[in-house]
Amino acid sequence: MNLKDKVAIVSGGARDIGRAVSVKLATEGAKVVVNYFSSEKQAEETLAAIEAVGGEAIVVAGDMTKQADVDRLVAEANAAYGDFVDILVNVAGGLVARKTLEEMDVDFFENLMKLNLTSTFMLTKAVVPLMGDGGSIINFSSQAGRDGGGPGASAYATSKGAVMTWTRAMAKELGSRNIRVNALCPGMISTVFHDTFTKDAVRANVANATALKREGYAAEVADAVAYLASSESSFLTGVNLDINGGLYYS
């Protein structure tokens, strides 16, 4: 158990990739604080899954674009597991809708930035003072941040590209404290995200275009998170790790 007795906060940790990450970290011995926004039922299911593997966790509701909710999440983590955090995984974010430049207005664009980038900044700022030597932050970017995204995803892709730059900047800033900051850039992963926003025919074409001829799975992304959270990746920081089955090489 590479993360035994570590304390981990996972924003957006209740479903899909977030759930897989939460369960994987718990399986590796971490005490997990599972944040969710509107997915209360899924959060309770995630807690049950963690308990089923002998893990320990709490669930905390909150919108990571609101300072009061960020502060409450950290306070509840501290109340449950002590005044420190070892691992932060910024999963929370989303596409919201596919819109072209003509269809977008400034409110939509700014909302995407807030959802995917500002939320990562806010939670990182709140957690870093509680991190000691060897802390690990894992952000979530996207293949869209590498290649500009699919049709109608320009705002989403831009926000995820910014997450990559933020990751590099924080790796430099926090490295002297031995806090590592890395990010994952998932490609086509089989989740509700693509069930909602990507047509079946497009998914099939993308899967066929990958070197491995398939979509990825949330558990495979979670495995990468666990590696980046552990001391096994102790000399990795500022890395934006592609996990896309060979669809795109950066």
Provide the annotated active-site residues.
156
User: Which region, left, alpha or beta, applies to residue 62 given φ > 0 means left and ψ of -120 to 50 means alpha?
Assistant: left
- Starting at the edge strand that comes first in sequence, how are the strands of the sheet with 240-243 ordered? 56-61, 31-36, 7-11, 87-90, 136-140, 180-186, 240-243
Query: What is the per-residue DSSP string for 167-218?
Result: HHHHHHHHGGGT-EEEEEEE-SB-SHHHHHHS-HHHHHHHHHHSTTSS-B-H
CA 37 – CA 14 distance, rounded (Å):
9
Residue type present at position 227: Y
List helix spans (H) across the chain: 16-27, 40-52, 67-81, 106-113, 119-127, 143-147, 154-174, 192-197, 200-209, 218-229
Q: Name the one residue in this structure whose structure tokens are 């899954």.
A: 49
Residue type present at position 4: K
First to last CA, the chain: 32
